[in-house]
Structure 1
Amino acid sequence: MGGKHPMASIDQRTFQLIEKMIEQPFNTAQHLMKQLSLSKSQVEYAVSKANVLLQEAGKTPIEIGLNNFILAESSRNYFLDFLSKEDVFSVYELSGEERKKYIFLMTLYYHEEYLSINHFLDALQVGKTTLIGDMKKLEEELQRLHIEISYSRKEGYRLQGDEAEIRYYLMRIIFEDFSKNNAHFLYDYFLYRESTVDKKRIFAVVENELNHYHINIVENRMNEFCYMLVFLLPRLNKTWTEFYQNYSFQTFFETKEYQFSTSLLAQFQIENKYAKLYVCGWMLGMAMGDAKQNSPDYSIIDELVDRIFERFELLSGIRFKDESAAKQQLYSHFRPVYYRLFFHLPIVNVLHKKIVQEFPDMYQIVQETMKPIEVLFGTEIPNEEVSFLTLHFASLIDEYDEYQVQQKIGVIVCPNGIGSSAIVYNELKSVFPEMILIGPIETNALETISQSYDIVFTTVPNIRLYALKKPVFVVNPIMSIDEKYRLVQAVQNEGKTQYEDYHVEDLLAIIKKHGTIMEVPALKKELNDYLQGRSSKSYNHACQIVNRNKQAEFNLLDILKPEFIQLQVTSRSWEEALYVAAAPLVDARVITRHYIEKIIQTTRNEGPYMVITEKVALPHARPEDGTLKVGLGITALKDEVVILGKTPVKYIFTLSAVDNKKHLAAIAELVSLLDRPEFFTLLDQAKDPQEVYAWVEQHIETD
């Protein structure tokens, strides 16, 4: 070392703090504490470690104010360069969670080699007690999948268990890590320390094979696939009879994904038939479907898509105008879902909680939509898959007007695929109607677009984006009202320092030095309001966005009245039954007579599309077919009628919807009632509509 001091080490917290400072060179302590889930002292310690790095490089340290941190441009550029090179691996200290994963990766990767305790100690640079503690935590986690780490003098440390579960665990941790910032750092660190594999070659080979077979996967799936392939290559020559027997179907051998799998593995001298089928199934669970390509599995997937689409339309009360285009989009999204369920592949949806929070009604409708499909797989569809489909349906329903005002141009980078891409595009278009938006595109496509652009919106922070020297704004595909407000403010300031975040605490400290503050919270709020320019154009714009996105939704009791409920109704035909069921809505001027005529005409043309479950119909048409207001009628027939000679109906819920959204909360509540057998018993036995209305009122409030 020639007497030179070794470079300072950094840990996971310091690494993440540096990333956040690159994203936003002006940061408050509170913001960093929230973003990194750290205490104030932990943030300060991470800043001090980052500053040692800067000082050793002769760069300006992070400036520490009363309540904020500022990173100089030259230091930001240094960090950008430092984190993108392998130098960072030589100074990095693994956290406990990272050490646990590292132990698993060693036992997975070196499955044919002898691993002793000393191998782990040398790799992790920790004491024996720490290592044993880390290994114990890993074993407890693996135990849930019936995997164990065995040890014998002859073979050393080995993973023991079902090969499917071992590979499932690898997929799961990669999916989880790749869904966060700093996605593949640990895996790059492992390969830097342990492997001579040429990662760039593997990426290039995979990309060439995907292009050759015209297989389309989104950027994030591509990264996940390549890294998993790197770690699984040493294991792919294993015999795996059980997997082959379970999934050896002729359809798979005819797919382009199987041809891709065979050709890809041949590049790595793997001819194993088990591996070919496994990689084929794995790719089928990632690749986007294309309804225009007549693939061997098209008829199977298409039939399921038809069933899902029709059931969603029935339950939601929505009739899509361009049904063919909507079904093609659903096909592309559902095909990988089908294979993930079929092959029991893991799914990680980082947006799951937010989707359920932002689209609770639609989530419930989609969950109900998918119930008949569950029977095919003999298992419940994971909630994370349901929320992916919810996001997709939400993107289909969103219809905004195009704006052609030639002003700022923003490019949207979204590596997560069609569902969240469509949502983030529509969200941004509603927030910035005056802006021209390009995309969504993947990160690599930024280098190839010819059109100039002013700013970048991205759903996933990526150091490469900050090297473009354009303002970069990280956005959630689904934004809360507060997030939209802050985004408008940030964009209008083009990423310049926001006074609210950085100077209010400093101002309060100065005022305290020269006087007594009677009401600190009130003064703080007023300073915030003044410095942020609450009366400014940007705030008014943000308020307009809030109002535009908070259009009133109707609950079930908002659209149902006692006079819309009819009991013990007699009818001589299904057409008469539909007319009678709709009569109270016509009388109340909720719908016109043409609306019900359209429903009957559609039924004659398409069959009993409105029957959503046994003996239950939800007749509805498009708003332009005679909707005047939102409304719902309930009619219980004395005796069932048979639609078109084959489908019996006894309970008719006539729905009038003015658009594709406002009634969804009401439908979600109705769906919850349709799951209760006692609801139908009441409809059969009650004499007074008020009794039914009171029951609905009570049970909706209870739910």
Structure 2
Amino acid sequence: MDNRLSNLYSLLAKQQRRFQISELAAHFRVSTRTIYNDIDKLNELLETVGAAEIVIEKGRIQYECEMPIDIEKILFKNNDFINSDQRIRKIRMLESVLLLPDNFSSETLLQRTLVSRNTLLNDLRAVRKELENNEIILETIPFRGYRVVGEEARIRNFLAATLEQDPLLFETEGFQAERNSLVEIDELIEKICNEIGIQLSDESFQKMILHFWVTKKRLQINKSLKQWQKKEIYNKEEQVLFANKQAIEDRFKQPITKAELVYLANKLSEASITNFQELLTDKWLTFNLIVEQFITAVDQDFPQIDFTTDQKLYKGLLNHLRPAYKRTLAGESIENPMYEYVLENYQELHTSIRTYVPLLETKLKVTFTDQEISFFTLFFAASLERNKFFVPHKTKIVVICNAGISTSEILKSKIQNTFHVEVVGTFGAREGIKWLTENKVDLVITTIPLELKSIPVVRVNPYLSEEDRESIHRFVKPIFREVTIEQLLTIVENYASLSFQATKSLSDELTTYLNLPKSQEKKEYQPMLKEILTPDLIELNYAAENRDEAVRKSGELLVNSGLATNNYVDGMIENLEVNGTYIVIAPGIAMPHARPEEGALDVGFSIVTLKEPVVFGHPKNDPVKIVIGLCAIDHQTHLKALAELVEILSHEENVAGFTSATNKIEIMNIIEGGKETC
């Protein structure tokens, strides 16, 4: 039997010499990552029979054993592997039960699980209880066998979660044929993510492969999702899945309905991402405003740190909030591998964030778990780390981490705070390896097994232990201790009494001399709406024949006032084509905009009222009567004015005043008399 695991073990056991990971990857024509995964699987098998494990040290493999075992026998012929581990046995039983069609028999289960009849019956009782805990019933039908009864989406989610616990399943004889299917699904998801404009974390990517595979296998036994309610607006994930319907059917080798595509799109929207292009999606305006409110609230508890000026914090939270919201809506649980670390090292911060999370929950009408909330804490923790030190440019480093953007950011910050380095990027394994083929760095720091030919690699834990620091120290010179202005001033106060002004002057001088960040950095000013909206930015009763003309007019007003370039107007039109329905934020009101880098010069809004309403394509909020052109130079500076405008337009009398206005002064009076929100 041609099995790579068996062949790899045989090679290591027979030659009993040191192998480079890259050497084995070349021999088996796979990636180094695949070899690391194979070694993990082999060690799981070796543990079941009490054999010595394969040791990996600095990219080299050494295996010494007096009597090699028969890996194929364990995998395919000997049921000791399953019988020896009750947890694995139950997992395999669950997988079999959920992958079989209705009316399967005990004999079928015996053939699949390779256990005795008595063991099978005992395990079935445990499996039945496990299913019931997840609102799934294993029903016995007299003279016919068994069938699984439950909500199909729940069954699929539970099956995918079970498969995550069984990395060796696809190495067994009955699942060899599925390997090509998994490769095809891998390529398909990569294509879909590129079209959406997102990059999944490595962990999320593997979960998506399982969700696609589970959907395929459940459809093969005629278990499809029930009739679904047609939606009026489809998000970007759904649109891309619909566009790839044929490609999915080709890989599934069967037709697929829109209900199935929407289910897979939901799984994508729940996945943690490491990078994304700015997308207008459902609740995009709400997400932007409540993230700002959330950061401002937490900031009040930490006067020594200014969270509100940290653009990375804002973008990171905005990036994470949507999948967190989608997961919570779907009842999907998530575990933070750094949860205990958060509680031990950032207890005060985590307590503060738990206090203010209801700001998000109330607006979104969900309740986040403490595990989910701990991810929010990691974003703030990364911001704290960024505020501790200014690190001069030294060794160029790339961080590769599969646990998502929050873990990558805190690891990046810890590395920068400890060593004279420049972290030029954080990536998942897929994107990192791709990026390194075209760019050069001095060192790669990774939380996952990785072997590169021409670049040194240091593998570390996400929390960067002392042992990890020593490993990195071999390549770069570290900063041995953290220095803050507060610590220095405390020492000075032990020997001298300084006035408030003298303390401030000394603080500023030390900050400049030591190249440290200012403890109270000036906050980027957020102008009020009446400060940036002038009569020149208003056009009344404009005769637009279509939505493009209406949007272009709002952009031209921004250009004429020096707030944007013509390229920005083109970006508004392009964004309209991609996300047209979502820019219609309320009945009769559209808010087109483009990305800051597409030509935004300053913060501003334009207001265009239309002589005749124009259809934008929104099923509920059409036709549009008011077009508000938004120009933002970053993710935050415009938010105070935006919040004011949203508040003003939430009142029907103000909307009516906009549409009936015959001169610009009427609009300005509404703006200046509108309610102000902070």
| Fold similarity call, TM over 0.5 | yes
| Contact 1:291–1:332, Cα closer than 8 Å, also in 2 | no
- Structure 2 partner of 1:263: 243
**Residues 1:280 and 2:265 are matched in the alignment:** yes
**Residues 1:335 and 2:322 are matched in the alignment:** yes
SS of 1:350's equivalent in the other structure is coil
Change over 3 Å in CA distance of 1:239–1:230 after alignment to 2: closer
| Contact 2:402–2:429, Cα closer than 8 Å, also in 1 | yes
- Structure 1 partner of 2:601: none
- Structure 1 partner of 2:345: 358
Offset, 1:200:
0.9
Distance 1:72 1:374 in 2: 46
Residue in structure 1 matching 2:284, options 287, 298, 316: 298
- Structure 2 partner of 1:131: 120
SS of 2:199's equivalent in the other structure is coil
**Residues 1:203 and 2:183 are matched in the alignment:** no
**Residues 1:488 and 2:439 are matched in the alignment:** no
Distance 1:273 1:99 in 2: 36
Residue in structure 2 matching 1:311, options 289, 297, 300: 297
TM-score by length of 1: 0.54
- Structure 2 partner of 1:440: 426
Greater Cα offset, 351-360 or 155-164: 155-164
Distance 1:88 1:424 in 2: 39
* Cα deviation code 1:179-216 (max 9, x no counterpart): xxxx8433554872574762111111221122233233
Distance 2:64 2:453 in 1: 15
Offset, 1:134:
2.8
Change over 3 Å in CA distance of 1:549–1:586 after alignment to 2: closer
Offset, 1:101:
1.6
| Contact 1:215–1:287, Cα closer than 8 Å, also in 2 | no
SS of 1:398's equivalent in the other structure is helix
Residue in structure 1 matching 2:402, options 415, 419, 437: 415
Over the matched positions of the two proteins, sequence identity in percent amounts to: 18
* Cα deviation code 1:487-534 (max 9, x no counterpart): 23334568xxxxxxxxxxxxxxxxxxxxxxxxxxxxxxxxxxxxxxxx
**Residues 1:235 and 2:235 are matched in the alignment:** no
> Which amino acid in the other structure matches residue 458 of structure 1?
T
Distance 1:124 1:310 in 2: 55
Residue in structure 2 matching 1:381, options 358, 365, 368: 368
- Structure 2 partner of 1:579: none
**Residues 1:162 and 2:134 are matched in the alignment:** no
Query: 5+ residue gaps in structure 1?
Result: 2-6, 15-20, 24-41, 54-61, 63-68, 178-182, 495-536, 554-584, 592-597, 608-703
Distance 1:168 1:294 in 2: 27
Number of positions where the alignment pairs a residue of Structure 1 with one of Structure 2: 454
Change over 3 Å in CA distance of 1:186–1:405 after alignment to 2: same
* Cα deviation code 1:21-67 (max 9, x no counterpart): 999xxxxxxxxxxxxxxxxxx99x9498545x9xxxxxxxx8xxxxx
Change over 3 Å in CA distance of 1:292–1:202 after alignment to 2: closer
Offset, 1:293:
3.2
Change over 3 Å in CA distance of 1:71–1:238 after alignment to 2: closer
Residue in structure 2 matching 1:140, options 115, 118, 129: 129
Offset, 1:150:
2.2
Change over 3 Å in CA distance of 1:551–1:347 after alignment to 2: farther
Change over 3 Å in CA distance of 1:46–1:97 after alignment to 2: closer
Distance 1:231 1:349 in 2: 24
Change over 3 Å in CA distance of 1:331–1:436 after alignment to 2: closer
Change over 3 Å in CA distance of 1:291–1:303 after alignment to 2: farther
SS of 1:250's equivalent in the other structure is coil
| Contact 1:404–1:436, Cα closer than 8 Å, also in 2 | yes
Change over 3 Å in CA distance of 1:73–1:273 after alignment to 2: closer
SS of 2:337's equivalent in the other structure is coil
SS of 2:198's equivalent in the other structure is coil
* Cα deviation code 1:451-482 (max 9, x no counterpart): 4556542223x3xx147587654323224xxx
Offset, 1:418:
1.3
SS of 1:129's equivalent in the other structure is helix
Change over 3 Å in CA distance of 1:487–1:605 after alignment to 2: same
- Structure 2 partner of 1:475: 460
SS of 1:146's equivalent in the other structure is coil
- Structure 1 partner of 2:17: none
Offset, 1:587:
12
* Cα deviation code 1:264-303 (max 9, x no counterpart): 4432244423212222222111264858433454223223
**Residues 1:458 and 2:446 are matched in the alignment:** yes
- Structure 1 partner of 2:232: 250
| Contact 2:270–2:327, Cα closer than 8 Å, also in 1 | yes
* Cα deviation code 1:196-254 (max 9, x no counterpart): 76211111122112223323322221111012210222335745448x35xx6534x2x
CA RMSD of aligned residues (A): 4.9
Change over 3 Å in CA distance of 1:311–1:103 after alignment to 2: same
* Cα deviation code 1:287-324 (max 9, x no counterpart): 64858433454223223323323333334445346355
| Contact 2:339–2:371, Cα closer than 8 Å, also in 1 | yes
**Residues 1:186 and 2:175 are matched in the alignment:** no
Offset, 1:109:
2.1
Distance 1:451 1:134 in 2: 53
**Residues 1:224 and 2:207 are matched in the alignment:** yes
Change over 3 Å in CA distance of 1:552–1:287 after alignment to 2: same
